[in-house]
Structures are given as structure tokens and as C-alpha cells.
A and B are shown apart, each in its own frame.
Chain A
Amino acid sequence: MSEATSDTALTRPAAGNATRGGFKGFLRATEIDTRMLGMIGALLVIWVGFHILSGGTFLTPRNLWNLSVQTASVGVMATGMVLVIVTRNIDLSVGSILGVTGMIMAVAQTQYLTPMLGYDSGLVWIATLIVGLICGLLIGGLQGFIIAYLGVPAFIVTLGGLLVWRGGAWWVASGRTIPLTDDNFKLLGGGSDGSIGATWSWIFAAAAIVFIVLAAVAARRRRKRFNFTIKPIWAEILTLGLSLIAVVAATMIVNAYMLPAPLARRYAEAHNLTVPPGGLEISFGYAIPVLLFIGVGIVMAFIARRTRFGRYVFAIGGNPEAAELAGINTKRVTMMVFMLMGMLAAIAAAISTARLSSATNAQGTLDELYTIAAAVIGGTSLAGGAGTIFGAMLGALVMQSLQSGMVLLGMDTPLQNIVVGAVLVVAVWLDTIYRRRSA
């Protein structure tokens, strides 16, 4: 009944036949998804291609660090878009929700929270974020209610929302640009202060490594306890080794990006450091929005794979009628998916307003396109029922690499739009072929 394929997080084929030889047997044993492999391949091609075309400026710590920060906002929304699309819905309004929640947060902060809690109060940033999250939740909830309980198709509701919330963003501040007042909140956008530096980056990397290893061991134990087939040990070590190398490489790259001299001097003064004769070498390390993005990704992956709610989201996508007959309150689950999407749009709004240090009326324009493209390129099936959070995060990185690369090459905005639009169509076309093959 659905054309969705088996590459969901829930249903990846098991190790099973370790005896099978060749590349297929290798993939089976390691449980590596072929389409994930394809996506990483595409990413490498894009990166190397731009690196060559730009005369060696793409694969630099500075550019990759910027790329990571730029990916965060759309990436956060893409993780929610996966669940929206998995339930056979779509959300065209995320860019506008980002716009209006960003504007509301900026106005709330400058006009109410900062005056109320005082300048430099450590509470302003969190209060601002909570205001944004609540607004996103309410907006998503309203749209979700209309979709789930009143039965208006998501396409129409969120197409209307695209206009309504963009208009709302204008209405909140009569179209003015609102500069943020709270410096703590601005850290959410990254920048020289909004990064955690070399030491903490290594601590973060170490924690990530421990987490990955423990997760792998726990999964193996669980399967052993019930006498299920387990991955051959060489495959386990290989996949584990690759992820650990990725973590270490990423950390080395963000740490290789140094503060420019004037900023380093300012930093030294602020922290009472003496500047050595050769100049100060201070690493950026991971940017806070990137950590936020990774955190959101982990939480969303957990929701999708390990919670009841996530299971219901996929079941609804696979067969809405069956889900209802199984006793799932499909309407409530659908509404909750849109609420979650609204909250993620608010987090994305916090990241992008903090990054610009102000809220503008046009913020998030066209982000719906990038978000949907990220999810779809990352393997989310528009027919519903299939998709992974991690895939969408990689998809966001692919889309952002494309855009950043074109900016680096000095391409005009209209031409960039043409390329992005075309890439989206081609990606979905390739996906259709892939699914037909593997079905």
C-alpha cells in the first residue's frame, strides 16, 4: 500500500548472513546503509569539487567551521521535518515560523525581559528561549490541530501559514529590525565568544567517544541476552573505528581555526593572559549552535527510535488506518508532530537571530525549501513511513555545503536559487530510482 522502503531507522536489515561474501555481504555485516554511503560520497564530491574550483579555499578550517555554524539552523528544523514527512504530511511554514518566533523573542528580550530581569542577568537568555519555544509550540499546535482534527490537508494549512506567520513577523515590530540586547543569548549564534575553545572541544570529543562506544556495547549485550544474531566483531570494530575517526577529525578541524589577532588580543585582555611574543594562538573549537544542533539531533533520534511516540509516527506513516485500528490516537500524534516542529523552528530562530545579533523581518525566508530538501536528500520518503534523523542532518550539511560553496565562488543569488531548486528535483528523482530498485 505504501511505496516507502525499508531504510527506516526501525527496520534496518540485521547482520544475519555473515557468510555472504562480496560488497553486499560487507554492507550487510557492517549494517551500513547504502544510501548513507551514497550521501557521504556526494558530500565528499561537493567538498572536493568546490575546493578545486575555489582555488583551495573550501576545505580550510575557517570555511568548514563557518559551514558547521551555518548548517545548524536549517539542520535543527530538518530533524523535525523528518517526522512531519514520515507521517505523510509537509510543513511549508517553517521559515515563516522561524521569522515570527525570532521576532517575538527579540521584542520580548529587548522590551520586557532585559528591563525586568536587568542587564547581564543570566536568566534573560533562557527566558527568551522559553518564550520562543512556547510560541513555536502554540503555532505548531494550532496548525497541527487544523490538520489533524479539522482534516484540512497539511499542504494547504502550512501554505497558508507561510503567509500568515511571515505577515505576523512584520506585525510584531511593524517591520523594524530589532537588535538583541542580551550577550548571553548571542552566544547561541556562535561567533568568537560563542565557541567552546580547544580544551572543551577535546572534552566534548572524549565524551562523544565514550558515548558511542558504550552505546555499541549496550546494543551488543542486549542482542546477546536474547540470543539474536550479532554483528561479527570485525564489522563492529570497523564501524566503531570510523565513527571515532570522524569525531577526532572534526575536533581537530574546529580547533585548527584560530581567533584572528585582534580578537585574540581582546580575549587575552578579558582573561588576564599575557600575550607571548609570537602572538596568541587561541582556537575557536566547536561553536555553541553546532553543539545545540548535535544535541537536538541526538534527542530527536532518541525520540524517533526509542520512544512510543516515535514508533507511532512511523506506524502512521506506514499505514494510517492500521495505526488507528491498533488503538493509536493518530490525530493526537499528528498534532504533536507539528508542535515539535514549531518548537524546533523556534530553536532555529534563536540560533539565527543570535547569529545576526538581531531579528529581521525576512529571517528564515526560503528556509522551508532548504529544510525539506535536507530531509528528502537525507532519505526521508515523501510517500511517508521512512526516514532517519541522522540522514536529515547530513542532508542539511549537503545543502549548506552547496550554498556556501556557491557563495565562495561568487555566484549570484538568482543563479544559486536555480542550482538549489534543480538539485532538489534531481535528488528526489534519484531517490525515486533508488527506491524502485530496492523495493
Chain B
Amino acid sequence: MSTTMEQITDHGPAHHHDTIDRSGPALVQMEDISIAFGGIHAVDGASIDLYPGEVVALLGHNGAGKSTLIKILSGAYKRDSGEIYVRGDKATIANPRDAKAYGIETIYQTLALADNVDAAANLFLGREIMTAWGTLDDAAMEAEARKVMGRLNPNFRRFKEPVKALSGGQRQSVAIARAILFNAKILIMDEPTAALGPQETAQVADLIKELKKEDIGIFLISHDIHDVFDLSDRVVVMKNGQVVGSARTEDVTKDEVLGMIILGKCPPGATPGPGAMKE
């Protein structure tokens, strides 16, 4: 990504204080999750949790297992072992429908859009607005689509085109809009700004701050360490399918986080996980 070693040598001060209430049950708790594809242990005994109004950044090198872990939460993959708890109760998530029923919405790294239908059809896919006669209410869906897209990407006009005809950033805006349209309680954002321009990226950052205020919990996967430090309350670093460690964002520096990502070295301010480098 755009972040290089030179850019992040400053030990910037922590921008905000941790005000998250962690006394109640976690919004989500994933316990000892494992999944293997053939011989590859994509996720290997990973545990991670999230509280209301909290942004937890999930970091790691390419292929570390971040997307796979959150896809287990969103119901896209079935785990081999481990448990998921939502608000303290054991949750059965066997497919994406189950996850949505728990208020878990996901912006996938691959966006997961049906390329041949328009933005409104994608936004409401699986949850269409129907008329009184039980038919699709395309006009109402388009009207809603215009509202929500106006909030994310005011320049967006191409509501009639199939999303295949849109630019990468416009497609990403559609994917983000879809996730926030249905009162998510738990939001998973897998590299949501990878294709966005500076203005749209700033808008997503504002959006995340707004959603926090509404007590929505957010898993944010990003390679942009500046974004992560600006937005997250906690960071969790993965390496080779295992959790290296987790820390409150204000307790670690960018260099230390980078050390966790690249070397798997857990700094003093962080709680080491199973994947931490042994001394």
C-alpha cells in the first residue's frame, strides 16, 4: 500500500482516548477459530472480540488470514472449529443469511456485487422493497439508493447502469452503501477505501465516526496504517493465520504495529496472542 517505513517513523501522539465501555458482554466474540483449505491453515486458533461503538482494526501481511477470519463471521465460510458469541450468546452462523439476522453486515474485499444489475438492485439484493401487490418496487428502491449514495458519493449519477459499467471507486461506494442501509449492529469492512479517492476516503472516515456514535461495532481491515491510527480504538495483528497480539491503539506506536505485522514481535503495550514471536 502507500505506507512505507520512511513515512511512519514518527511516534505520533495518540489522538483520542479510549472511551469504550467494555464492562458488558462483547458485541462479538470469536473464540479459537480455525479453518483450513486443503493443507493451508488459513486461520489457526484465532480469537478476537468487538464492543459496541468500537472500531477494531485487523492488520496483517497479505495472506495473513484477515479476510478468511471475517468471512467466517459473515457466514461466507464454515469454520472447522471454534465458537462465535454475539452479545454473550452462542451464535449459529452457517450462511450469510444467518449473519444478517444477527445484524452483521459486510463490505467484502471483492465487493461481491452482481455486475449485471444496477446500483439499486445491488443495494437491496436479498431485501427488496416490494409494492402492495408483492412485486418489486424498483422506483422506491432507486429513490432510497439515491439518498444513501448521496451521503457517500454525492457525485454519483449512474443509477441506471449495471454496476459493471461503474468505476472501481463507484463500485466500492455501492458496496459500502449496501452495508449501512439496513441498520447494521456489527459492520465488517474489508479494505473499504482501497479504490476510493481522497474525498471519498474522507467521507468513509466520517461515516465510521458517525456509526461509532450509534454504538455500532466495526471490524476494519486496512493496510493504511495512518487510517488505522486515526480511526481505530484497538488493533489486532495477524500473521500466518494466527493472532500476533492486540493492543489499544493509544498504547502502541506505528513502528511497533509495523513490527508486529512484519516480524510478529509483540511490544510491551500489547497483549500477545498465539502467533507472537517467541523470545
Q: A residues within 8 Å of B by Cβ?
A: 1-2, 4, 6, 8, 10-11, 13-14, 16, 222-223, 225-226, 228, 302, 305-308, 310-311, 314-319, 321-329, 385-386
Q: Could you tell me if A11 and B116 are in contact, using CB atoms closer than 8 angstroms? A: yes
Chain B residues positioned under 8 Å from A314 (CB to CB): 114, 116-117
Q: Could you tell me if A322 and B114 are in contact, using CB atoms closer than 8 angstroms? A: yes
Decide if B130 is an interface residue (CB 8 Å cutoff): yes
Please name 13 pairs of A and B residues whose Cβ atoms are closer than 8 Å in the assembled complex, sorted by A.
Answer: A2-B116, A8-B117, A13-B160, A228-B139, A307-B135, A315-B121, A318-B115, A319-B116, A323-B125, A326-B125, A327-B126, A327-B127, A328-B125
Q: Could you tell me if B139 and A306 are in contact, using CB atoms closer than 8 angstroms? A: no
Assuming the A-B contacts A6-B164, A327-B97, are A315 and B117 also in contact, with contact meaning beta carbons closer than 8 angstroms in the complex? yes
Q: Could you tell me if B125 and A315 are in contact, using CB atoms closer than 8 angstroms? A: yes
Q: Which chain B residue shows the least CB distance to A224?
A: B139
Instruction: Report, as a range, how many residues of chain B touch the other chain.
Output: 35 or more
Assuming the A-B contacts A228-B142, A318-B116, A318-B117, are A11 and B162 also in contact, with contact meaning beta carbons closer than 8 angstroms in the complex? yes
Assuming the A-B contacts A315-B117, A327-B126, are A306 and B74 also in contact, with contact meaning beta carbons closer than 8 angstroms in the complex? no
Q: How far is the CA of A35 from the CA of B71 in the complex (A)?
A: 41
Assuming the A-B contacts A1-B115, A11-B117, A311-B121, are A326 and B161 also in contact, with contact meaning beta carbons closer than 8 angstroms in the complex? no
Decide if B106 is an interface residue (CB 8 Å cutoff): yes
Q: Which chain B residue shows the least CB distance to A386?
A: B116
Q: How far is the CA of A1 from the CA of B116 in the complex (A)?
A: 10
User: Which 9 residue pairs spanning A and B have beta carbons closest together?
Assistant: A318-B116, A318-B114, A327-B126, A385-B116, A315-B114, A322-B112, A14-B160, A326-B125, A326-B126
Q: How far is the CA of A321 from the CA of B76 in the complex (A)?
A: 9
Chain A residues positioned under 8 Å from B95 (CB to CB): 324, 327
Minimum Cβ distance to chain A for residue B240 (Å):
26
Chain B residues positioned under 8 Å from A4 (CB to CB): 115-116
B146-165 near A? 1/0 per residue, CB < 8 Å = 00000000000000111011
Q: Which chain A residue shows the least CB distance to B134?
A: A307
Q: 20 extra interchain contacts, Cβ-Cβ under 8 A, other than A319-B112, A319-B113?
A: A6-B162, A8-B162, A11-B116, A11-B162, A14-B160, A16-B160, A223-B139, A306-B135, A307-B134, A307-B135, A308-B136, A314-B116, A318-B115, A318-B162, A321-B112, A322-B112, A324-B96, A326-B96, A327-B95, A327-B97
Minimum Cβ distance to chain B for residue A299 (Å):
13
Q: Which chain B residue shows the least CB distance to A227?
A: B143
Q: Could you tell me if A385 and B115 are in contact, using CB atoms closer than 8 angstroms? A: yes
Q: How far is the CA of A1 from the CA of B115 in the complex (A)?
A: 8
Q: How far is the CA of A2 from the CA of B116 in the complex (A)?
A: 8
Q: Which chain A residue shows the least CB distance to B124?
A: A311
Q: How far is the CA of A307 from the CA of B126 in the complex (A)?
A: 12
Chain A residues positioned under 8 Å from B135 (CB to CB): 302, 306-307
Q: How far is the CA of A317 from the CA of B125 in the complex (A)?
A: 13
Q: Which chain A residue shows the least CB distance to B140?
A: A226
Decide if B83 is an interface residue (CB 8 Å cutoff): no
Q: How far is the CA of A385 from the CA of B117 in the complex (A)?
A: 9
Minimum Cβ distance to chain B for residue A183 (Å):
37
Q: Could you tell me if A323 and B116 are in contact, using CB atoms closer than 8 angstroms? A: no
Q: Could you tell me if B136 and A226 are in contact, using CB atoms closer than 8 angstroms? A: no
Q: How far is the CA of A308 from the CA of B36 in the complex (A)?
A: 35
Q: How far is the CA of A4 from the CA of B142 in the complex (A)?
A: 23
Q: How far is the CA of A228 from the CA of B136 in the complex (A)?
A: 17
Q: Could you tell me if A6 and B165 are in contact, using CB atoms closer than 8 angstroms? A: yes
Assuming the A-B contacts A6-B165, A226-B142, A308-B128, are A326 and B112 also in contact, with contact meaning beta carbons closer than 8 angstroms in the complex? yes
Q: Could you tell me if B114 and A308 are in contact, using CB atoms closer than 8 angstroms? A: no
Interface of B is mostly: loop
Q: How far is the CA of A6 from the CA of B161 in the complex (A)?
A: 8
Minimum Cβ distance to chain A for residue B216 (Å):
19
* B165-198, CB < 8 A from A: 165
Q: How far is the CA of A1 from the CA of B114 in the complex (A)?
A: 10
Q: Could you tell me if A322 and B136 are in contact, using CB atoms closer than 8 angstroms? A: no
Chain A residues positioned under 8 Å from B127 (CB to CB): 327
Decide if B108 is an interface residue (CB 8 Å cutoff): yes
Decide if B118 is an interface residue (CB 8 Å cutoff): yes
Minimum Cβ distance to chain A for residue B41 (Å):
23
Contact partner of B100 (CB less than 8 A), chosen from A11, A223, A327, is: A327
Chain A residues positioned under 8 Å from B114 (CB to CB): 314-316, 318-319, 322-323, 326, 385
Assuming the A-B contacts A8-B117, A319-B114, A319-B115, are A325 and B160 also in contact, with contact meaning beta carbons closer than 8 angstroms in the complex? no
Q: Could you tell me if A13 and B161 are in contact, using CB atoms closer than 8 angstroms? A: yes
Q: How far is the CA of A385 from the CA of B165 in the complex (A)?
A: 14
Q: How far is the CA of A410 from the CA of B199 in the complex (A)?
A: 70
Q: Could you tell me if B143 and A10 are in contact, using CB atoms closer than 8 angstroms? A: no
Q: How far is the CA of A68 from the CA of B111 in the complex (A)?
A: 46
Minimum Cβ distance to chain B for residue A426 (Å):
25
Contact partner of B136 (CB less than 8 A), chosen from A2, A306, A317, is: A306
Q: Could you tell me if B126 and A328 are in contact, using CB atoms closer than 8 angstroms? A: yes
Q: How far is the CA of A169 from the CA of B161 in the complex (A)?
A: 47
Chain A residues positioned under 8 Å from B117 (CB to CB): 8, 10-11, 311, 314-315, 318
Q: Could you tell me if A325 and B108 are in contact, using CB atoms closer than 8 angstroms? A: yes
Q: How far is the CA of A10 from the CA of B125 in the complex (A)?
A: 13
Chain A residues positioned under 8 Å from B160 (CB to CB): 11, 13-14, 16
Minimum Cβ distance to chain B for residue A398 (Å):
24
Chain A residues positioned under 8 Å from B118 (CB to CB): 10-11
Assuming the A-B contacts A11-B161, A315-B125, A324-B96, are A225 and B116 also in contact, with contact meaning beta carbons closer than 8 angstroms in the complex? no
Chain B residues positioned under 8 Å from A1 (CB to CB): 115
Contact partner of B130 (CB less than 8 A), chosen from A6, A8, A13, A308, is: A308
* B87-113, CB < 8 A from A: 95-97, 100, 106, 108, 110-113
Chain A residues positioned under 8 Å from B96 (CB to CB): 324-327
Contact partner of A311 (CB less than 8 A), chosen from B112, B115, B128, B142, is: B128
Q: How far is the CA of A327 from the CA of B126 in the complex (A)?
A: 6
Chain B residues positioned under 8 Å from A323 (CB to CB): 114, 125
Minimum Cβ distance to chain B for residue A93 (Å):
26
Q: Which chain B residue shows the least CB distance to A385?
A: B116
Q: How far is the CA of A10 from the CA of B110 in the complex (A)?
A: 23
Assuming the A-B contacts A315-B125, A326-B96, are A226 and B115 also in contact, with contact meaning beta carbons closer than 8 angstroms in the complex? no
Chain B residues positioned under 8 Å from A302 (CB to CB): 135
Q: Could you tell me if B136 and A225 are in contact, using CB atoms closer than 8 angstroms? A: no
Chain A residues positioned under 8 Å from B142 (CB to CB): 226, 228
Q: How far is the CA of A328 from the CA of B127 in the complex (A)?
A: 9
